[in-house]
Amino acid sequence: MRILITGTIVFVIWCFFSSWLYNDILLPVMRKPVPALATPVSQTNEADSLMKLKAMMPKNLSIYFEFNDSKFKPDPQYDNSIAAFKAWLDKYPGSMLSVEGYTDLVGTTEFNQALGLKRAYIVGKYLEGHGITTDKIMAKSKGEDTHAVDYITADGRAKSRRTDISIKMQ
């Protein structure tokens, strides 16, 4: 019985002591304002200039294809975008055009990979016809790996049959 009474008294004393320590010592220290250290602002605006440069880049162009086909109909909209790409490449010779061919999920992986590459090469030839040199074009196939929307609907699969043209900075 003495052990219970002694334990209870020690527990009550510990509760009072820990409450006093927290409320009177620790809480006021935590509430004190902490002076903020001023960091010097660097004068280099590299990130800002890179953001401005990316904002001036021509927007990516997507060319859509029919099912199991690598032919497309030239469109004046394509010509305007390609002219913007060519102007960009002339102004910034360190940049390249990335031409990536995509397919839908229908067919084998190997067939879709080859079809995506064929679509990328066809678009690359179209770009060459508009004055962009082959050393500025990187053509590759993404196959069925990356889809645009979904594979459930026919419209979603149609949006996945495409070739994307974008600028890559080096």
Q: Is residue 70 part of a domain?
A: yes
Question: Tens of pLDDT along 104-151?
Answer: 888 788 888 888 888 888 888 888 888 888 888 888 888 777 666 666
pLDDT tens string 60-113: 888 888 887 777 777 778 888 888 888 888 888 888 888 988 888 887 888 888
- The pLDDT of residue 148 is 64
For residue 37, being part of any structural domain is answered with no
| Residue 70: per-residue pLDDT | 74
Are 7 and 88 contained in the same domain?
no
- Give the domain range for residue 8: 1-28
Q: What is the pLDDT of residue 43?
A: 56
78 and 138 inside one domain: yes
Distance separating alpha carbons of residues 61 and 151, to the nearest angstrom: 21
Q: Is the pLDDT of residue 22 over 80?
A: yes
Domain count, the chain: 2
Q: Is the model's pLDDT at 44 over the cut of 60?
A: no
Q: Provide the pLDDT for residue 7.
A: 92
Q: Given the DSSP bridges, would you call strands 96-102 and 137-143 parallel, antiparallel or unpaired?
A: parallel
Coil, helix or strand for 9? helix
CA separation (Å) from 3 to 10, 13, 16, 89? 10, 15, 20, 87
The overall longest dimension of the chain from CA atoms, in Å, is 100
What does pTM read for this prediction? 0.65
Q: Is 123 in contact with 93 (CB distance < 8 Å)?
A: no
Distance CA 105, CA 67 (A): 11
